[in-house]
Chains A and B, each alone.
Chain A
């Protein structure tokens, strides 16, 4: 078994209204060192051993988990999840 951790965020070129609101809130709490906030999604997939795992995960991300018109994704594959 593998644990796949998928991170989806809005592309750098796309304004993030939620991120802006959180950044403004942090500034009002005096955390002025925070220059930017990007809100994203984190997903954990538990995946059985399969051929072409990397390719399959890429497909999954591009087909469903991320909308590549506005979002970027990254993922990490961890081996040997305890049952």
Chain B
């Protein structure tokens, strides 16, 4: 399986993402620059964390109009897995691929530490290797991860079971303790915590690896040649 790791000016988790795919998952990863305009040859798209365009104006607001973004949107519409982590999640929100927006953390602090997440829905292509309700340890590293959406949107997210991960102990003030959501079709996941930083016990946790294994397993299952 071939993963594209999109590199924006100011991305800083692209190397971690590449490492997670190449060395831990054992699949092919390729850095794709923000100014390229073709993602046809990739099976999955990864938007890494960081501070794209310096987070000027708002996190993800400028990256959302980078030349690669129409291709990211095209890949999402084609049903390919698209994962946005941290700043990548903010970019997906700004691009309208996921609903809602990010505010400053409730305590106004940049927080960088492991947190406990609860798997709320293990029936997505990103979470199927987890148990429902499983508690996992994954680090957060953000100053603007206070997820907000209006009441109607929240009701819809809950009704459609689109909350993939929630915080066991809400660190940032997000509505409904939301840590990660998927789109209506289930092929776009945005999450603030960093699964790519939790892919080996040496890093403190390997709980994030199952997310990438889920993507791989689902991709393989959908590409089985029926005899």
Contact = CB atoms under 8 A, between A and B. Distances in A.
A18 B101 contact: no
Nearest to A68: B101
Given A10-B103, A69-B101, A17 B61 contact: no
Interface in A52-80: 64-65, 67, 69-70
Name the interface size band of chain B.
20 to 34
Contact of B57 (A14, A16, A65, A70): A65
Contact of B65 (A16, A18, A21, A64): A64
A70 B173 contact: no
Given A17-B146, A65-B57, A70 B101 contact: yes
B105 interface: yes
A65 B148 CA distance: 18
Interface in A34-58: 41
| Interface secondary structure of B, over-half rule | loop
B33 interface: no
Nearest to B62: A64
Contact of B148 (A14, A41, A64): A14
B113 interface: no
A55 B173 CA distance: 36
B144 to A, nearest CB: 10
B85 to A, nearest CB: 20
A69 B108 contact: no
A17 B105 contact: yes
Interface in A1-43: 10, 13-18, 21, 41
A12 B102 CA distance: 16
B13 to A, nearest CB: 22
Contacts of B149: 69
Interface string B135-155: 000000000001011100000
Contacts of B177: none
Interface of B: 57-58, 61-62, 65, 93-94, 99-101, 103-108, 146, 148-150, 173
17 contacts: A14-B103, A15-B103, A15-B173, A17-B104, A17-B106, A17-B107, A18-B108, A64-B61, A64-B65, A65-B57, A67-B58, A67-B94, A67-B101, A69-B100, A69-B148, A69-B150, A70-B101
Shortest 10 CB-CB contacts between residues of A and residues of B: A69-B101, A70-B101, A17-B104, A67-B101, A17-B106, A17-B108, A70-B148, A21-B108, A67-B58, A18-B104
